[in-house]
Structure 1
């Protein structure tokens, strides 16, 4: 039994599975497309929305503010991600196969760990995309209202849990009590605004059996459109992504260039209001803004020269985004004192509005829409390719690995990913989704750092077109850094993460372990 759980695939087996005619994808990507894919994934909802929360914190939830020291949080997270990026770069140059951390775990730590990572990557890609889709809906609704004066009803832009959130000072209630209070408020017997935080939304929402019908419709619409684009081809997806990356980078550079004139050094005092713990709390939040560079590795089979271009795409995208993030953090906290950024969903636009620059704020809102669209696109590209890799290994049914005859994309997995993102995005709260995505990514990063060291010992002779420098120092630092960031997450996030992994183990033992191609007598 233990032998079966820890059996590994050789590098030769991994490459051979990718060359099977029924699984081959089009090779259309070069270093430019890979770099823009990385930037497209990294610069998304995170920098446009979480920068305010990371700087101001939330004392009610026990989150200490990083203050202007957020720039230190960003640089620390970038360094930790840089350690991991070097590990991804070496492995991607050795194993140019779609599947990312799942594939690397299969080659080093065995089938069980590969399954766990594959299941975990659902949290990074699909669940991250849920958060991005929710953010896109919020920004798009605000943008349409500000620029085009088109007001989309609030109940078509909010999840049910947020809609029923109680106002500050209202007594605690279970769901039944909330519905009773809502009925009374609609009848004029209870003051709705004093009871419900989003009373103006649920006041006009239709009800079924007393339950308000609220849904983030815009999140569903954008997910559907992006899924269609991913379905018809990687080349088309890359072209659209490159255009969006140029737009959003230009807007963020404009934020820095225009905002620097309004920076007041007084706003940087105190620079680190809560010391090292505040920096750690800021790092745990801002980490979400760095997720994405690893998604480049999922396109390995569609690269023209994966050995050289994949490492370049991964490292260049991370470096470019780090410089932009650090500059934006310094300008934002210099333009407005960090204590005024708490609870602001669109902090970049808000700051320029406070400085009487409404036109710039509208452009920033447009940039947020573009940024989240690009991030959504890259994650929707990544997740189906992980499903495909798991399917051709037998750990998922053959249906997941179907490649479209014309478009040469993992068609079934792409459509499934669309559903996995659209439905939760319509109904879930963004805060819990972000934290789950963070912990799932950190776990994958740890495994990748371990995988580099394992292959250094087991296959020192294997060709490596990119070599991680000082691997026995940098990889352990990457592992320790990920653990440090993870410790800044709430305990409830850990409980949900372990519950998710437990569900995955049940699926593996009932299906994956029995159907694994590696366990078949004819497995090559």
Structure 2
């Protein structure tokens, strides 16, 4: 078989339905909203508004969040239609495999895999930093060897991050419904914490801190832009990772009840709630204190509340935030393990990854994901992790946006009619692609270099192993 024919060979959607039928359909719209909100409203909402305001956008950080939300929403419409039509495990990987072909599906899936590996380590690291900040006033401190990543301030590994990831892995090994119940409770607590900050912080707003709302443009010492539309754009690329959580919903589509309705509601609903909370937190934060106060501040929300005279509320909000970060770990770990399961299911990675436990759970994939995430989190510091999450996800988003053009002609034929369709077709898919491309181009040079290295590794694995062991390839012979 010619090389191009192998790369573009398409999976029969009925085969995915057959392969995924052993996964239990137990997740409802409420569960998907909790998964999405839990992943979107996570570490980022308690850190990024202050960081981006100080470094890039000033008071106009809210515009950066809105612009990023517009791009995310365009892609979310595509995700909603795809997941409604093809409720398979693996999200973008499985969809692109069906509509564009195996090689393109692998690239999209490999891009998402980077997101899950790195995001788990990122959230674990953020959880650890916030928890250590909470307990340090009590005189409880960890040895520097167990509080920092390898090579950072004499660290060996981040013990709290490792323990947090292992706890979530254990919980998920007991089943999606168990994890979903825990997720529902933690998400409610976290949203209450965010709303508490917004309400209390709003009483301490000083209008003069909003002037000028869009500062004059100049270059930072590191060469990045501050102020003007350039600063807003730089902020968009930095904070886009805040909205990528809706992909974690799509990866669990094979476990959804009535997916044609629950998937679009979960994806679009969680994004809308996330946007409202992010914009509100941003406006309150820069209104309480001048944006320059948040430079290099790893906990701007807690800092602002304490300096506004609310130390007890600050401690409570931060404590709930730490507990709430487990929701992001649950969402990302569920999604990542289902993606790895999909690779193993299709033979593109070793088959044992696609093997289900006696309870019909992808626990082999879960164990592998946990191991790699712990290793990444032990080696790479928090600041480096935060730069690497968005690149792979944006590339996968581009593939999904373009795949709508191949999906539409097949709906109602070999694919079912979806319960939701992306509006303004064929214009909106193009806008979604262009929007994600613009955000990708705004990423820093280091993130782009790492993403190129990651894709080279993925291409090598596909040609050396996946192409020759693919179950689809064996069927085509």
TM-score interval (norm. to shorter) = over 0.9
**Alignment match, 1:4:** 6
> Which residue of 122, 128, 142 maps to 2:113?
122
> Which residue of 429, 452, 469 maps to 2:404?
452
Q: How does 1:258-273 map to 2 (within 5 A)?
A: 258-273=200-215
Matched, 1:442 2:440: no
1:145–1:152 contact (8 Å) kept in structure 2: no
1:134–1:426 contact (8 Å) kept in structure 2: no
Matched, 1:153 2:143: yes
**Alignment match, 1:411:** 363
1:100–1:386 contact (8 Å) kept in structure 2: yes
> Which residue of 323, 327, 348 maps to 1:395?
348
Q: CA deviation at 1:336?
A: 0.7
Cα shift readout 1:441-474 (whole Å, capped 9, x = no counterpart): 1111111111112212454644111111112121
> Which residue of 453, 458, 468 maps to 1:499?
453
3-state SS, counterpart of residue 326 of structure 1: helix
2:148–2:155 contact (8 Å) kept in structure 1: no
Q: How does 1:91-490 map to 2 (within 5 A)?
A: 91-146=82-137, 148-163=138-153, 212-273=154-215, 274-406=227-359, 408-459=360-411, 461=413, 462=415, 463-490=417-444
> Which residue of 6, 16, 24 maps to 1:14?
16
3-state SS, counterpart of residue 190 of structure 2: helix
Matched, 1:26 2:24: yes
Matched, 1:52 2:42: no
1:55–1:67 contact (8 Å) kept in structure 2: yes
TM-score by length of 1: 0.86
Cα shift readout 1:403-450 (whole Å, capped 9, x = no counterpart): 1103x2101110111111112212211222222211111111111111
Alpha-carbon distance between aligned partners in 2 of 1:443 and 1:16, rounded to the nearest angstrom: 29
3-state SS, counterpart of residue 15 of structure 1: helix
Cα shift readout 1:171-202 (whole Å, capped 9, x = no counterpart): xxxxxxxxxxxxxxxxxxxxxxxxxxxxxxxx
Alpha-carbon distance between aligned partners in 2 of 1:78 and 1:27, rounded to the nearest angstrom: 30
Alpha-carbon distance between aligned partners in 2 of 1:387 and 1:87, rounded to the nearest angstrom: 22
1:415 and 1:153, CA in 2 relative to 1: closer, same or farther beyond 3 A? same
**Alignment match, 1:88:** 79
Cα shift readout 1:15-60 (whole Å, capped 9, x = no counterpart): 23323xxxx1111111101111110111111111122211111xxx
1:31–1:309 contact (8 Å) kept in structure 2: yes
Q: CA deviation at 1:230?
A: 0.9
Alpha-carbon distance between aligned partners in 2 of 1:521 and 1:10, rounded to the nearest angstrom: 11
1:130–1:425 contact (8 Å) kept in structure 2: yes
Structure 2, unpaired ranges of 5+: 216-226
The count of corresponding residues between Structure 1 and Structure 2 is 462
Alpha-carbon distance between aligned partners in 1 of 2:368 and 2:84, rounded to the nearest angstrom: 29
Q: CA deviation at 1:364?
A: 2.1
Q: CA deviation at 1:152?
A: 2.3
1:391–1:397 contact (8 Å) kept in structure 2: yes
> Which residue of 74, 92, 96 maps to 2:65?
74
2:144–2:155 contact (8 Å) kept in structure 1: no
Q: CA deviation at 1:215?
A: 1.9
Structure 1, unpaired ranges of 5+: 58-64, 164-211
1:367 and 1:511, CA in 2 relative to 1: closer, same or farther beyond 3 A? same
Alpha-carbon distance between aligned partners in 1 of 2:259 and 2:124, rounded to the nearest angstrom: 30
1:240 and 1:521, CA in 2 relative to 1: closer, same or farther beyond 3 A? closer
2:345–2:355 contact (8 Å) kept in structure 1: no
Alpha-carbon distance between aligned partners in 2 of 1:432 and 1:438, rounded to the nearest angstrom: 12
3-state SS, counterpart of residue 162 of structure 1: coil
Alpha-carbon distance between aligned partners in 2 of 1:54 and 1:213, rounded to the nearest angstrom: 28
Cα shift readout 1:473-517 (whole Å, capped 9, x = no counterpart): 211111111112112211121111111100111111111000111
**Alignment match, 2:224:** none
